[in-house]
Amino acid sequence: MSTLAGSPALKVQVMCEGIRYTPALGAAAAHSMPNYYPYRFKPGEPDPTGRGSATIPYLINTPDGTEIRILGDGDSPWHIEGSQAEGYRLVDDRSGRSVSVAFEPMYPWLTQKTSDGLPFAQAGVQVHGDMLVVNVAPGCEYFLHKHEGQSMRCAFCAYGAPDERTKHLGQISGRVEILQPTLERMREAMDAVIAQTEIRHIYLVGGSLTDARKEGERFLQLARFVKAHNRHRIPVALGSGAIADDQIAQFKAEQLVDHVCFNLEMWSEPLFNQVCPGKARYVGYARWIEALETAVRHFGRGHVYSAMVAGVELEPEHGLEWEQAARTALEGAEDLCRRGIIPVYSLVWPSGGRQRPDYHARIRNYFETLITGYAAIRRRHGLEVSDGFMCHRCAYMQLECDLDRAAKAAA
Ligand code: SF4
């Protein structure tokens, strides 16, 4: 049923089906940016490491610059062959098709340290292709709150828990301000990254606070600091939660950021309430959309985004088949685009339902239907993802930039 061709088709397939472990994939980890999630061998899967898990690379680059995130899966028909000296190939068992690939390299900054000895990798920066993500307060307060036994964290979130990272960054629950030494260490790391690789986008993110105004204050402090040290004038995006309207205006008045991205995550209020209980409780669905509309008024169409998690609706507890899930998501895309807001869909595998024989097929059908339908909606509304916000070189689990690039090449 696929209507995709070329690199976007390959990217969707590999994102939806994962890659299984081979010694070549393991060997590539020695010279590649490491994956945040180690490869976990399934029961019965051959494990040449004998350890049950292995470090693998994070990102694949195809010859035309398409970036693909690697998700390990022992059942996948995709695997890696070759070596650093000969070059690597991504191979599909079913057809024998083989594509030349490279991995995002292990840049020197990944093993370097700040002047006071903190590894840059712990200083609050991450890199995806040509995007530098600044995250100096990753701990999310939603993880600390429960209501009627239910955690307020978003159901899919594996990265907001206060942990070792928050300790290195000096983040303490309840303190809004970011410590000056934390900002200085981040600046050193940011300078090293920018000196070693081409960075074309800076994205400010962080864990949520239960008080949206306080969250806005924290992001104002961060954005002012980044602006003061952004010597190359790299475009900056604000990736906070839905902060107060006057604070959105303040970001614009001080020209602190070029783009805004408040992540609604899930279209339809019932799904939003179930998947993002903290956002629903402390901000609310209607207010979230209102804040995005306020951002459009200040920053203009084409500068306001909302990341969406695509695939979480296929979790068994929501009782949705892929056709209904895709229909709802496309209704949301239409509605948001009408308001001048550009949703960006990241594929997130549902953790349940793996025993279904169509587990991978339904994810792929859903995601392909969504991204192709959404490309047509964007065109109809005259909206395009700004090259300053994001591009095909950093969209490692999103397809919007790849599809727009393919459409331009075909025109
Ligand atoms: S707001 Fe949701 S997605 Fe963001 S860090 Fe908190 S729990 Fe995770």
Any residues with Cβ below 6 Å from ligand 1, and which? 140, 142, 153-154, 157, 160, 207-208
Each domain of the chain, given as residue ranges in start order, spans: 6-103, 108-410
Class of domain 108-410: alpha beta
CA angle 330, 323, 367 (to 5 degrees): 60
What DSSP element (H or E) covers 406?
Answer: helix 400-410
For the segment 12-23, the average pLDDT, to the nearest whole number, is 95
Q: Would you place residue 240 in the very low, low, confident or very high pLDDT band (cuts 50, 70, 90)?
A: very high
For the segment 203-225, the average pLDDT, to the nearest whole number, is 97
Whether the model pTM is above 0.75? yes
Mutate to test the pocket of ligand 1, among 135, 143, 208, 272 (most ligand atoms within 8 A of CB): 208
Q: Are 140 and 207 in contact (CB under 8 A)?
A: yes
Question: Rounded to whole angstroms, how far apart are CA atoms 267 and 276?
Answer: 11
| Exposure string over 62-90, b if 16+ CB within 10 A, otherwise e | beeebbbbbbbbbebbbbbebeeeeebeb
Tens-digit pLDDT profile for residues 138-175: 999 999 999 999 999 999 998 888 887 888 898 988 89
HSE (side-chain half, CA atoms, 13 Å) at 249: 3
What DSSP element (H or E) covers 304?
Answer: strand 304-310
Given a cut of 80, whether residue 116 has pLDDT beyond it is yes
Q: Whose CA is nearest to atom 5 of ligand 1?
A: 160
Q: Would you place residue 409 in the very low, low, confident or very high pLDDT band (cuts 50, 70, 90)?
A: confident
What would you report as the CA-atom Rg of the chain, rounded to the nearest whole angstrom?
A: 21
Q: State the amino acid at position 90 in one-letter form.
A: L
Tens-digit pLDDT profile for residues 277-303: 999 999 999 999 999 999 999 999 999
The pLDDT of residue 1 is: 55
How many Cβ atoms from other residues are within 10 Å of residue 38's Cβ?
14
What DSSP element (H or E) covers 280?
Answer: helix 277-282
Q: Whose CA is nearest to atom 6 of ligand 1?
A: 140
Q: Whose CA is nearest to atom 4 of ligand 1?
A: 207
The alpha carbon of 160 and the centre of ligand 1 are apart by a number of angstroms equal to 6
